[in-house]
């Protein structure tokens, strides 16, 4: 199967294509679509067969649950058993938006969609194409990121085509996404809400609305023995083909250290890939240097992270060294992804 590609923008939606894609979803087929975070691989969340197809297309382990996407707040009530007051307040402030909430599920949500769990993850995306498609497809669309399992999440329709172009019915190309990393996941199944995956919506923003918010301890450091509560967080993710190392320390030391490592790699007959910023790229002397964004604009770093990781796969780089991006607001979300991509390999430039 070769995916049909429907091109449109949020300003100029091709209503006919949305109807066609909605019909495909209703028939149990898979359609990839843009959201404000990353591209999603959509299937009817209430159809166990469609969920099975999603796992098969991605090569995803079947214990890793899917997020159900809605486009009408009222629809939340049908797929959940209980909505705590704090979740209403959170939805009022952050939906539609880059936030996923976890609830006890109702009976209509099949266990195939929730990876066998009694809870369900739900998101109301803030993207007009996504919203129209969700409604056209019946209102409940399961959508993991539209990448092959383990690869960086797709931020353009081209990335989706690269990974899944021969396995799904259609791709809606709405141009590059706005945010570039996946939604924050907030679990409401305990008294105090817990962040299971950091994202654009931070702990501080959530605490302004609901008071105390905890963070899954596995997100903060490498923990052996404790399992993350979001099953997907335990898998290696986003990994480029070449080994990736994160180099930490003061800016000048990081640049000097990466330059030395790049020379060493060349002497061994390899080529170093380097991930720097607008502020630093001019100071690298060897290797394949890519600019991820500007430190003055941390959103730009989040937005280009996955694209840069993907680009290195076809670049000939034999090893990749990245600067560290502990930026003020999105730093935790960015570093969570980068550390996973690096398999937690860190070089301290101060000790080199
Ligand atoms: O931004 C996003 O959230 C994107 C776009 C397409 O909406 N979707 C996305 O889905 O990132 P996915 O499948 O790549 O990641 C879903 C994460 C996984 O880590 C999964 O384990 C977790 O959500 N998850 C889903 N349902 C859960 C549940 N009931 N309990 C705990 N974790 C859950
Ligand atoms: Mg994913």
pLDDT in tens, 91-143: 999 999 999 999 999 999 999 999 999 999 999 999 999 999 999 999 999 99
Of all protein residues, whose CA lies closest to atom 10 belonging to ligand 1? 144
What stretches of the chain show up as alpha helix (H) in DSSP? 15-26, 48-58, 76-79, 85-94, 128-136, 157-164, 203-210, 251-267, 298-313, 331-341
**Rounded distance from Cα 249 to ligand 2 centre (Å):** 29
Q: Which of 96, 144, 333 to mutate to test the pocket of ligand 1 (most atoms within 8 A of CB)?
A: 144
For ligand 1, whether the C-beta of 117 sits within 6 Å is: yes
**Rounded distance from Cα 120 to ligand 1 centre (Å):** 10
Nearby residues for ligand 2 (ion, Cβ within 5 Å): 145
pLDDT at residue 246, as a whole number: 98
pLDDT at residue 50, as a whole number: 98
- Do strands 31-33 and 170-173 pair parallel, antiparallel, or not at all (unpaired)? parallel
Q: Which of 100, 110, 120 to mutate to test the pocket of ligand 1 (most atoms within 8 A of CB)?
A: 100
Averaged pLDDT, 52-74:
96
**Rounded distance from Cα 298 to ligand 1 centre (Å):** 23
Whole-angstrom distance, CA of residue 69 vs CA of residue 326: 30
**Portion of the chain with pLDDT greater than 70, in percent:** 99
Closest CA to 96 of 123, 68, 67: 123
For residue range 242-264, what is the model confidence (pLDDT) as tens digits? 999 999 999 999 999 999 999 99
Q: Is the peptide bond before 153 cis (omega within 30 degrees of 0)?
A: no
Whether 125 and 13 have beta carbons less than 8 Å apart is answered as no
Among the bound ligands, name the one nearest to the CA of residue 163: 2
Checking if the pLDDT of 328 tops 80, the result is yes
**Rounded distance from Cα 253 to ligand 1 centre (Å):** 37
- Which pTM value belongs to this model? 0.96
For ligand 1, whether the C-beta of 234 sits within 6 Å is: no
Of all protein residues, whose CA lies closest to atom 7 belonging to ligand 1? 40
For ligand 1, whether the C-beta of 119 sits within 6 Å is: yes
Whole-angstrom distance, CA of residue 92 vs CA of residue 88: 6
Whole-angstrom distance, CA of residue 4 vs CA of residue 6: 7
Q: Establish how many alpha carbons lie within 13 A of residue 207's alpha carbon, considering only the half-sphere containing its beta carbon.
A: 8
Name the CA dihedral angle for 202, 203, 208, 210, rounded to a multiple of 10 degrees. Answer: 120
Phi, psi of 40 (to 5 degrees): -110, 150
**Rounded distance from Cα 44 to ligand 1 centre (Å):** 16
* Beta-ladder partners of 184: 99
Whether 271 and 317 have beta carbons less than 8 Å apart is answered as yes
For ligand 1, whether the C-beta of 332 sits within 6 Å is: no
Whether 281 and 273 have beta carbons less than 8 Å apart is answered as no
Averaged pLDDT, 308-314:
94
**Rounded distance from Cα 233 to ligand 2 centre (Å):** 9
Q: Report the alpha-carbon angle 56-224-37, nearest 5.
A: 45
Closest CA to 122 of 136, 109, 132: 109
Whole-angstrom distance, CA of residue 50 vs CA of residue 25: 8
């Amino acid at each position: 199967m070769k995916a049909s590609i429907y091109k449109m923008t949020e300003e100029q939606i091709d209503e006919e294509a949305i109807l066609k894609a909605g019909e495909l979803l209703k028939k149990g087929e898979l359609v990839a679509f843009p959201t404000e975070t990353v591209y999603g691989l959509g299937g009817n969340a209430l159809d166990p067969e469609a969920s099975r197809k999603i796992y098969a297309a991605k090569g995803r382990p079947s214990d890793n649950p899917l997020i159900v996407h809605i486009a009408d707040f009222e629809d939340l009530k049908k797929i959940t058993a209980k909505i705590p007051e704090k979740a209403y307040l959170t939805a009022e402030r952050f939906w539609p938006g880059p936030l996923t909430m976890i609830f006890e599920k109702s009976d209509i949500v099949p266990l195939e969609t929730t990876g066998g769990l009694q809870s369900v993850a739900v998101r109301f995306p803030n993207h007009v194409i996504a919203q129209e498609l969700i409604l056209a497809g019946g209102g409940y669309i399961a959508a993991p990121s539209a990448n092959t399992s383990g690869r960086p999440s797709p931020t353009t329709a081209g990335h989706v085509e690269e990974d899944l172009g021969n396995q799904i019915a259609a791709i809606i190309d709405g141009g590059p996404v706005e945010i570039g990393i996946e939604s924050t996941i907030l679990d409401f199944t305990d008294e105090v809400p817990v962040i299971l995956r950091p994202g654009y919506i931070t702990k501080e923003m959530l605490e302004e609305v609901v008071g105390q918010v905890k963070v899954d301890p596995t997100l903060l450091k490498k923990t052996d023995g404790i399992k993350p509560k979001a099953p997907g967080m335990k898998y290696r993710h986003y990994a480029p083909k070449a080994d990736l190392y994160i180099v930490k320390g003061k800016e000048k030391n990081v640049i000097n250290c990466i330059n030395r490592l790049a020379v060493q790699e060349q002497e061994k007959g390899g080529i170093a890939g380097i991930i720097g910023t607008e502020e630093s790229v001019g100071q690298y002397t060897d290797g394949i240097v890519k600019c991820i964004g500007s430190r003055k604009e941390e959103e730009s770093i989040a937005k280009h992270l996955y694209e840069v990781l993907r680009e290195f796969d076809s670049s000939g780089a034999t090893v990749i060294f990245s600067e560290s991006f502990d930026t003020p607001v999105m730093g935790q979300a960015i570093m969570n992804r980068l550390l996973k991509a690096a398999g937690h390999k860190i070089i301290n430039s101060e000790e080199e």
